[in-house]
Structure formats: structure tokens, C-alpha cells
Amino acid sequence: MEIVQSIINGILLGGLYSVIGIGMSLVFGIMGLTNLAHGDLVIVSTFLCMIIASQVTGSILLALLITIVLMAIIGFLLQNFLINRVLDKGSEPPLLVTFGVSIFLANVLLLLFGADARTIQSPITSSNIISTEMFSISAVYFVNFLVAVLVIGALHYLLQYTYFGRSIRATSNDVTAAELMGVNTKKIYTYTMCLAMVSAAIAGLLVGMTFVFYPSTGTQYLIIAFGVVVIGGMGSLLGTLVGGIILGLAQLLGAYFFGAGYQLLAGYIVLLIILTIKPEGLLSTAARK
């Protein structure tokens, strides 16, 4: 049945969407910053994985490890030398910095790689792990969902059960109190951006194996990240997974009932409905001011 297939694909696609949104959720939940360069940073990771796998290592997993290191370094430099310098000057300057970084990255990618469509080939790209008369489960979609659960589980453990995680949560809850207790909040912000870039590197590889990508598609994934974290609740890891699944289901069921042209529209209609019912997100614990 086609509707069963659409539901399964929507849930699994939600895993990919949640990985795309994790980095934005972390940065907003801890720094209160909407990172407008997030989508372009995901695409930078995709291009890095593609180039390293095809030109250097020949292995996708090794390329991912190298990309994670490179993206963590980029996150460190971006936060330490750009964003941290303007965080104390109000909400607009850091927002403008990330907007400028987004434009810069998109144009650099366009200059280096041109406007041609690219993809990352892997053994799981076109295979199924389950095929029946009623439905099939794509290997790459299943891997996307599995990776999403593992990444969110690892981040939850890090934030809840380690000293580093407690420092992050203290900074998120009350910056002044955290500083009085000896926490260097600027360093915590830098480490948080590095974590966000690690998740962006993982998301970049998954995006490259699942979809065709261009240097200009960063905006598309920025919008997806927005939708995921707004539905689930800014700063909530579990909410990010729930938001991704809801957005994925809404898009594929919208395409099933109304046609492929309504896929994005259906997702945004669900987003608006949830914003109307619960503006802070489904699983957000933050109180509205």
C-alpha cells in the first residue's frame, strides 16, 4: 500500500531532518543565537566529505572522520574570532555575522565547484534492507534514522551526565550564575559551536548520500532546520527528533494525498498549525516571556 510506504519513508526521512536540525537547536538553546549559516555549513560538510572520499581516502567513513575534525576547527574559529566578539552587543550583530558567513560560504562553494548537481555514491544509496509487497525500507533512509537516534542519544548523555554537559546546561540556564561559579561561558559557547559543527558534518554526509546537492542548497536545509527545531522546541534534543519525524511525515503524506508539488507546502502548513497551538514548540521547557 502506497500510504504505508509514505508513512515509513516520512518517519525515516524525519531522522535525517532531525540530524540537520540538531546543530541549530544546540546553538539556539545554549547561546540564544539563530545561526543563519547553519544550512551552508551542512553543505560545506557535504562537499568536504565528497572531495575527501573521492580524492584522498577512498573511504566514506574515513572521509567523515576527517570532515568532523575540519568542521570542529571551522566551528572553533567561527565562534572564537567572530561570534564571541559581538555576542555582548545585542541580538542583531551575531545574527548579521552568521548571515554574512552564509553568503560567503555559498559564493565560495559556487566559485570552487560550479552550479552542477553533485551526489555522494555509497553501497547503500540504491539498496533496500527490507522489500515486501506492501512496503520496502531504503537502506540509506534506515541509516539516516539510526544515526539520528545514536547522535541524539550521545548528546543527551553528554549534556546530562558529564561535567562538561552540566557546564553547558548551567550556561544555558543563567549566564551570570554560571560565571559566578567559575564557568568560562565564552569557552562553553565555543565548545557548543564545535559540537554543532560535528553534527553538521554527520548531517552533511547523510544529505549527500540521500539527495542531490548544489552549492546553493544551504538555504533549503536552513529552512528544514528551522522547521524541525520550531516544531520540537528550541534547545530540546528529543524535540528535534520528534520535530523531524512530524515534518517528514507531513511532507510525504502531503505529497501522497495532494501530489508531489504540495510536499513542502504540507510541511509548512503543519508547522503553522503547531505554532498556533503551541508557539514554544511541542517539547520545549522554556517559559514564554
| Whole-angstrom distance, CA of residue 204 vs CA of residue 46 | 4
Query: Which amino acid belongs to residue 9?
Result: N
Instruction: For residue range 46-84, list pLDDT tens digits in order.
Output: 999 999 998 888 889 999 999 999 999 999 999 999 998
| Whole-angstrom distance, CA of residue 221 vs CA of residue 76 | 22
| Whole-angstrom distance, CA of residue 211 vs CA of residue 135 | 21
For residue 199, give the nearest of 229, 173, 176, 171 by alpha carbon.
Answer: 229
Evaluate if residue 286 carries a pLDDT over 60: no
Backbone angles phi, psi at 134, to 5 degrees: -90, -35
For residue 103, give the nearest of 193, 194, 40, 27 by alpha carbon.
Answer: 40
The answer to whether the pTM exceeds 0.85 is yes
| Whole-angstrom distance, CA of residue 150 vs CA of residue 255 | 29
Query: What is the pLDDT confidence band of residue 287, given thresholds at 50, 70 and 90?
Result: very low
Domain ranges, ordered by start, for the chain: 2-218
Q: Give every CB contact of residue 95 below 8 A, 6+ residues apart in sequence.
A: 33, 34, 36
Look at the block and give the residue holding cell 528544514.
224
Backbone angles phi, psi at 138, to 5 degrees: -70, 140
| Whole-angstrom distance, CA of residue 38 vs CA of residue 17 | 13
